[in-house]
Amino acid sequence: MQIAIENPGQPDVVQLIDDLDAYQKPLYPPESHYGIDIATLSAANVLFAVARDERGTAIGCGAIVMEPGYGELKRMYVRPQNRGQGVAAQVLAFLEGEATARGRTMFRLETGVSQPEALSFYARSGYARRERFGRYPEDPLSVFMQKDAG
């Protein structure tokens, strides 16, 4: 597997994001969806990583939005057939390393209460629940987490 910073506008990567949306949209009402679009993922302050298998197929992705003082994890996804192989952990470690190299030592995220696998993964990865942050509204379907790397 290879992980690199890539352009999120590539067709196979757009498909990953579409698959993520197809998974998440039935779980929550529209007002509780906080994913960011391809244009935002392409912004200068966003690190977008893609994991590719030995054939070069995009199997996972994730992003860190470089906010003042912290990096916010967004759009983490691994194709169902590639889960359980450590892809998410490697993408997360890669993104945290890239963000740390750019001066971020705190990482935050928002995920949903209906995603127990994600909640468990982030807890195993050192993230702890915290209060709401940034521009997120009060939402009983959201879970906010943080990890200090320093």
Chain segment 8-39, per-residue pLDDT in tens: 999 999 999 999 999 999 999 999 999 899 99
The percentage of residues in the chain with a pLDDT greater than 90, rounded to a whole number, is 98
Output phi, psi for 95, to 5 deg. -60, -45
Mean residue pLDDT of the chain comes to: 96
What CATH code is carried by the domain that includes residue 89?
Answer: 3.40.630.30
Q: Please compute the mean of the pLDDT values over residues 92-110 and round it to a whole number.
A: 97
Looking at the domain assignment, is residue 138 inside a domain?
no
Residues spanned by the domain of 42: 2-106
In a domain, 54, yes or no: yes
Number of domains observed in the structure of the chain: 1
Is 9 inside any structural domain? yes
Residue 132 lies in a domain: no
- 37-85 per-position pLDDT tens digit: 999 999 999 999 999 999 999 999 999 999 999 999 999 999 999 999 9
Residue 150 has pLDDT above 90, yes or no: no
pLDDT at 2 > cutoff 70:
yes
Residue at 47 is within a domain = yes
Q: What kind and span of H or E run contains 22?
A: helix 11-24
Q: How far is CA 78 from CA 83, 110, 124, 129, 134, in A?
A: 6, 17, 17, 23, 26
Predicted TM-score of the model (pTM):
0.95
What pLDDT was estimated at residue 149?
Answer: 80
